[in-house]
Chain A
Amino acid sequence: KQEVTQIPAALSVPEGENLVLNCSFTDSAIYNLQWFRQDPGKGLTSLLLIQSSQREQTSGRLNASLDKSSGRSTLYIAASQPGDSATYLCAAEDGGGFKTIFGAGTRLFVKA
């Protein structure tokens, strides 16, 4: 049974700092791993999708990596801004189907 864990649960950093959010999963037979952002009271916004055959994806200041063998993914945010404050969720899609398992999220606060 797939389990997804995100560390840390919460993070507070000063503006401009580079930071890394961690996601680990127990079953390496995933189809893909997706990172989302959620703002309070809002839906989820897709940030990056890494397919199982890929090692990383980049979008602007965001870079996500995937290491299936170790069951880990990281989301790197460069030069953080107050507008990056949100909850970041990772989700692993089951390799045998389309069931997606979410982590509990990392709540990020970037101080101006």
Chain B
Amino acid sequence: EAGVTQFPSHSVIEKGQTVTLRCDPISGHDNLYWYRRVMGKEIKFLLHFVKESKQDESGMPNNRFLAERTGGTYSTLKVQPAELEDSGVYFCASSPLLGGNEQFFGPGTRLTVL
């Protein structure tokens, strides 16, 4: 069974540019989460989808970040325009709707904003 996949694995962009990160959850997992780790800090929750609906987006830093999950399958996280402080590793995780909510993480996307 394929795990959570994320694309790209690395992205280097300049300040002011736009970047879109993609996450493909484990097939059948209705819960999808985005997290971020910036340098030297803990992993921080960004938001949570159940299918295509946003359940909790309280962790989104500001309105430069937009997450979507059209059709309830893969999700994208767009940063527009990117700022230097957005640099970090963005993780995606998924879990089934039932059964204790064990989360399975993707390998992350390392974003560097210059």
**Residue A34 interfacial (CB < 8 Å):** yes
**Residue A58 interfacial (CB < 8 Å):** no
Q: Which residues of B contact A93 (CB under 8 A)?
A: 101
Known: A99-B45, A101-B45, A102-B42. A32 touches B101 (CB 8 A): yes
Among the stretches A10-18, A19-27, A43-51, A64-72, the one at the interface with B is: A43-51
Q: How far, in whole Å, are A31 and B32 apart by their CA atoms in the complex?
A: 17
Report how many residues on chain B are interfacial, defined by Cβ distance under 8 Å. Answer: 25
Q: How far, in whole Å, are A89 and B42 apart by their CA atoms in the complex?
A: 10
For B49, the closest partner residue in chain A by CB is: A98
Chain A nearest CB, measured from B113 CB (Å):
19
Q: Is the CB of B105 within 8 A of A44?
A: yes
Contact with A along B23-54 (1 / 0, CB 8 A): 00000000101010000011111001000000
Which residues of B come within 8 Å of A, CB atoms? Answer: 4, 31, 33, 35, 41-45, 48, 55-56, 58-59, 91, 93, 100-108
Which residues of A come within 8 Å of B, CB atoms? Answer: 4, 31-32, 34, 36, 42-46, 49, 51, 89, 91, 93, 97-105
